[in-house]
Structure 1
């Protein structure tokens, strides 16, 4: 339960840092879809999506390179004893849903 609350708190803080503090324009195009925090609060897997699908690998690398800076900004702003290490992962569930939707449309048009 605590890990979920921390995840929700992290989501808003991470987006705030990305929008206000990170200087990479590609990274500003992300939407955080989900955050999984381990029970011991040591690691947070931050899932993201982007409208710029062709640059998703570069965006993921950029986010992971900025993870330490983002974590540092969160440490300054939040009153948590422990802020987890951040790992950014592209969330392909939206892509998968679009693929399924396309297949269903193909089936119904036949």
Structure 2
């Protein structure tokens, strides 16, 4: 169960990371479309699990590898945005959110 503070910080991080990915995707990720679907923050606010939806989905693993390489830079950009609101910028760990692919697979199975 997330506390109110955790959910507020999760929403803040999701909004700011979405904007960062929107601005930096041309330069860092060769124009791939990356959207932040969910952010889960630990109770001590030290770790944020960021779930990404990547288009095209067939290149998700390679894009996720690039995102993980750029984690330090992304955390710095995030710190520039939320530095006045948070005492410590949480460490970021990125995961692929494949729920949309799962939903599409279920739909295709039901249409048969």
Query: Which TM bucket (shorter chain)?
Result: 0.7 to 0.9
RMSD of the TM alignment (CA)?
1.6
Match of 2:52 among 12, 37, 48: 48
Give the total of aligned pairs.
106
Secondary structure of residue in 2 paired with 1:39: coil
Within 1, Cα distance between the matches of 2:68 and 2:94? 6
Query: Which residue is equivalent to 2:33?
Result: 29
User: Which ranges of structure 2 fall in alignment gaps of 5 or more residues?
Assistant: none
Match of 1:88 among 88, 94, 106: 94
The answer to whether the aligner puts 1:9 opposite 2:12 as a matched pair is: yes
Contact 2:21 2:35 in 1 (8 A): no
Residue 81 of structure 1, CA deviation: 0.3
Residue 18 of structure 1, CA deviation: 2.1
- How do residues 87-106 of structure 1 correspond to structure 2 at under 5 angstroms? 87-106=93-112
The answer to whether the aligner puts 1:70 opposite 2:77 as a matched pair is: no
User: Which ranges of structure 1 fall in alignment gaps of 5 or more residues?
Assistant: none
Scaled by the length of structure 1, what TM-score is found? 0.86
Within 2, Cα distance between the matches of 1:70 and 1:30? 13
Structure 1 stretches of 4+ with a deviation exceeding 3 A read 25-28
Residue 27 of structure 1, CA deviation: 6.2
Residue 28 of structure 1, CA deviation: 4.6
Contact 1:18 1:27 in 2 (8 A): no
Within 2, Cα distance between the matches of 1:100 and 1:21? 33
